[in-house]
Amino acid sequence: MSMKQGLRIDNRDTLHLKVCNVIREAIIRGDFKPGERLKQSDMAEQLGVSRMPVREAFRKLESEGLIILEPHKGAIVKSIQVEDVAEIYALRAELERIAVEQSADLLTNDDTQQLSYLADQMETAEDVDDFVQYNIDFHKLLIKRCNWERLNTFITTLWNGLPQQTPHLLEGQTEMSNKEHRAIINAIQNKEKGKAGKLVAEHIKRTGEKLINSLEKEGQS
Amino acid sequence: MSMKQGLRIDNRDTLHLKVCNVIREAIIRGDFKPGERLKQSDMAEQLGVSRMPVREAFRKLESEGLIILEPHKGAIVKSIQVEDVAEIYALRAELERIAVEQSADLLTNDDTQQLSYLADQMETAEDVDDFVQYNIDFHKLLIKRCNWERLNTFITTLWNGLPQQTPHLLEGQTEMSNKEHRAIINAIQNKEKGKAGKLVAEHIKRTGEKLINSLEKEGQS
DNA sequence: ACATTTACAATTGGATCCAGTATCCTAAAT
DNA sequence: ATTTAGGATACTGGATCCAATTGTAAATGT
């Protein structure tokens, strides 16, 4: 079994999986607006496949909470209220705390170096979009070594739960986040997993509250 | 639009939903053993439907974590290790704590009366199976008024995660549980939702540890 | 005798076809 | 004029059919 170089067949995923991924990305990117109706036939035609893989993709996306499927009616993109944001951040705080506690001891030196690197990048990031991407990588890396499968899927579901187009709302609070990131890294390097978890939870809670504040202000205007 | 009397059509669920429910019950009941292979065609024939609704049901069951679908291979019933039990109870403890905090204020008088009733039933239950059923109802009722949808589905997933055939392992620790149930009810009646949540979490953690102990002892024998 | 290859059977994945339901529009009736 | 019944349309849900992949077992070669 040599598998020397990259002469691999493009992608051995099944079709409905590819379809699912494409649609998921589109929804998270915001290409399909909340409340928008998604038709199997249109989607199938656009992607150049039959309706079947689209149907299966829709089922999966429903289970991930990205769309709602009503019998005989079809799929609509789920829309997000402020209360959803509150829920997502509250749950993220608790679940990622647990995940970090599981993961912390198993992080390699490479991992912690990578964490520092990402913190550097965030501190010197030019625009907010970059910051957001590094931030995502940072949080994903923190829990990378957590072996609890259910926990991981729950967290991913929450991450996918809100379209990633809110970065501008985080403006002007990056300094605080950067401080907290450093504190988290410290705790991990000192093998204080309990503390690391606690810091992560507080960090998420705080950013959640900030985000909700911004949303409510924006709603009023 | 009066809708006076109950002349309703039996069941307007779509077929794949019915199929899904039937299979789920069977797995949870333990009719299909962990590791067992489930064939679409067999299942379809047994249920008297085509393969199509079975396929869709399988997808849903996979998303609930009850089976594993490997491409071009098929479905196998997920098997449970001790570590899974640890995960499930740890997550249940935290998530149900949050859910109770959300739910507590919204519980009606009827609800709390029903809680007391269930506590009574558990205290006087003859055999363990009855106790287990009342216990399930009790915990479900505690979080009944929680409006966080994602949280509810996570908890349901965890509940379905382990086949319900472990009651005999809980033997001889019902007294402790009964005490804890009463304490929880008290906290709720006193509108101390934080305390109620904490008690629930501790209660779940404790039963989880007990269960794991029993499993490990059983494993050795 | 053992390893490797090849052909075949079994099963899932994908496409197409048909049926049933929901929605929208029009026309009729009060 | 407004409401309601009827029907046309369009979409989803379910059945069937075909293709692709995997595993097994036989066959061939070393």
Which residues have CB under 8 Å from B154's CB, separation 6+?
A91, A154, B91, B95
Of B31, B60, B77, the last residue of a domain is B77
* pTM confidence score: 0.93
Is the domain of B187 the same as that of B213?
A: yes
Q: In what order do the strands lie in the sheet with B37-38?
A: B37-38, B74-77, B67-70
Residue B10 within a domain: no
Q: What's the whole-number mean pLDDT along residues B174-203?
A: 96
Number of domains observed in the structure of chain A: 2
Q: Are strands B74-77 and B67-70 parallel, antiparallel or unpaired?
A: antiparallel
Return the pLDDT at B12.
Answer: 82
Return the pLDDT at B214.
Answer: 87
Residue A115 within a domain: yes
Residue A89 within a domain: yes
CA distance A125 to B109: 55
DSSP helix/strand/coil, B65: coil
Is the domain of B70 the same as that of B86?
A: no
Q: Does pLDDT of B8 surpass 90?
A: no
> What tokens appear for A192 in the block?
């204080």
Question: With contact defined as beta carbons under 8 Å apart, do B132 and B166 qualify?
Answer: no
Is the domain of A30 the same as that of A102?
A: no
CB distance under 7 Å to strand C: residues: A 14-16, 49-53, 56, 71-73; B 12, 38-41, 51-52, 55, 69, 71-75
CA distance B68 to B162: 14
Return the pLDDT at A167.
Answer: 64
> What tokens appear for B117 in the block?
């009733």
**pLDDT (tens digit per residue) in B129-152:** 889 899 999 999 999 999 999 999
Question: Do residue A148 and residue B94 have CB atoms under 8 angstroms apart?
Answer: no
CA distance B174 to B145: 26
CA angle B82, B88, B90 (to 5 degrees): 105
Q: Does pLDDT of B3 surpass 50?
A: no
Q: Does pLDDT of A163 surpass 90?
A: no
Is the domain of B87 the same as that of B72?
A: no
How many residues in chain B? 221
Is the domain of A86 the same as that of A141?
A: yes
- Pick from B150, B152, B153 the residue to mutate for testing the A interface (most A CBs within 10 Å): B150
Return the pLDDT at A191.
Answer: 95
Return the pLDDT at B188.
Answer: 97
CB distance under 7 Å to strand D: residues: A 12, 38-41, 51-52, 55, 69, 71-75; B 14-16, 49-53, 56, 71-73
Of A62, A77, A92, the last residue of a domain is A77
Q: Which nucleotide is nearest to A54 (CA to C1')?
A: C14
DSSP state at residue B144: T
Buried residues in B184-208 as b, exposed as e (16+ CB within 10 A) = bbebbeeeebebbbbbbbebbbbbb
CA distance B73 to A185: 43
Residue A149 within a domain: yes
CA distance B152 to A57: 23
Q: What's the whole-number mean pLDDT along residues B195-207?
A: 97
Question: With contact defined as beta carbons under 8 Å apart, do A188 and A73 qualify?
Answer: no
Q: How far is the CA of B20 from the C1' of D22 (A)?
A: 26
Is the domain of B129 the same as that of B215?
A: yes
**pLDDT (tens digit per residue) in A102-149:** 999 999 999 999 999 999 999 999 888 889 899 999 999 999 999 999
B67 inside 8 A of chain A by CB:
no
Candidates A56, A48, A50, A45; CA nearest to A21 is A56
Which residues have CB under 8 Å from A106's CB, separation 6+?
A145, A146, A147
Is the domain of A132 the same as that of A51?
A: no
**pLDDT (tens digit per residue) in A28-63:** 999 999 999 999 999 999 999 999 999 999 999 999
Instruction: State how far residue A53 is from chain B, nearest Cα, in angstroms.
Output: 11
Provide the number of CB pairs (under 8 Å) joining chain A to chain B. 67
- Comparing every residue's Cα with the C1' atom of nucleotide C20, the nearest one is A72
How many residues in chain A? 221
What does chain A look like in DSSP terms, one character per residue? ----SS---S--S-HHHHHHHHHHHHHHHTSSPTT-EE-HHHHHHHHTS-HHHHHHHHHHHHHTTSEEEETTTEEEE----HHHHHHHHHHHHHHHHHHHHHHHTT--HHHHHHHHHHHHHHHH-SSHHHHHHHHHHHHHHHTTT---HHHHHHHHHHHHHS-S--GGGGTT-HHHHHHHHHHHHHHHHTT-HHHHHHHHHHHHHHHHHHHHHHHHHHHH-
Q: Give the residue numbers spanning the domain of A59.
A: 15-77
DSSP state at residue B127: S
> What tokens appear for A156 in the block?
């991913």
**pLDDT (tens digit per residue) in A63-113:** 999 999 999 999 999 999 999 999 999 999 999 999 999 999 999 999 999
Is the domain of A55 the same as that of A120?
A: no
Q: Does pLDDT of B221 surpass 70?
A: no
CA distance A187 to B29: 44
Residue of B nearest to A94 (CA): B94
Is the domain of B34 the same as that of B90?
A: no
In three-state form (DSSP H/G/I as H, E/B as E, the rest C), the secondary structure along A53-97 is HHHHHHHHHHHCCCEEEECCCEEEECCCCHHHHHHHHHHHHHHHH
Residue A128 within a domain: yes
Residue A122 within a domain: yes
B94 inside 8 A of chain A by CB:
yes
Is the domain of B38 the same as that of B100?
A: no
- Pick from A87, A146, A158 the residue to mutate for testing the B interface (most B CBs within 10 Å): A87
Q: How far is the CA of B34 from the C1' of C7 (A)?
A: 34
B167 inside 8 A of chain A by CB:
no
Return the pLDDT at A217.
Answer: 82
Per mean pLDDT, which range of A61-65, A202-206, B126-130, B204-208 is the poorest? B126-130
Per mean pLDDT, which range of A1-5, A105-109, B81-85, B196-200 is the poorest? A1-5
> What is the percent of chain B with per-residue pLDDT over 70, rounded to a whole number?
92
Is the domain of A134 the same as that of A188?
A: yes
Q: Does pLDDT of A3 surpass 50?
A: no
- Binning pLDDT at 50, 70 and 90, where does residue A10 land? low
**pLDDT (tens digit per residue) in B21-48:** 999 999 999 999 999 999 999 999 999 9
Q: Does pLDDT of A166 surpass 80?
A: no
Q: How far is the CA of B78 from the C1' of D17 (A)?
A: 32
Dihedral Cα B136, B139, B143, B145, nearest 10 deg:
70
- What's the burial of A35, exposed, middle or buried (CB within 10 Å: 0-12/13-18/19+)? exposed
Of B24, B48, B77, the last residue of a domain is B77
Candidates B17, B79, B18, B69; CA nearest to B39 is B69
Question: With contact defined as beta carbons under 8 Å apart, do A98 and A125 qualify?
Answer: no
Residue B164 within a domain: yes
What's the CATH number where B207 sits? 1.20.120.530
- Residue carrying structure tokens 């024939």: B45
> What is the percent of chain A with per-residue pLDDT over 70, rounded to a whole number?
92
Q: Does pLDDT of A1 surpass 90?
A: no
Is the domain of A216 the same as that of A137?
A: yes
Candidates A79, A89, A86; CA nearest to A33 is A79
Residue A5 within a domain: no
**pLDDT (tens digit per residue) in B105-137:** 999 999 999 999 999 999 999 888 889 899 999
What's the CATH number where B45 sits? 1.10.10.10
CA distance B199 to A67: 35
DSSP helix/strand/coil, B122: helix
Q: Which nucleotide is nearest to A17 (CA to C1')?
A: C13
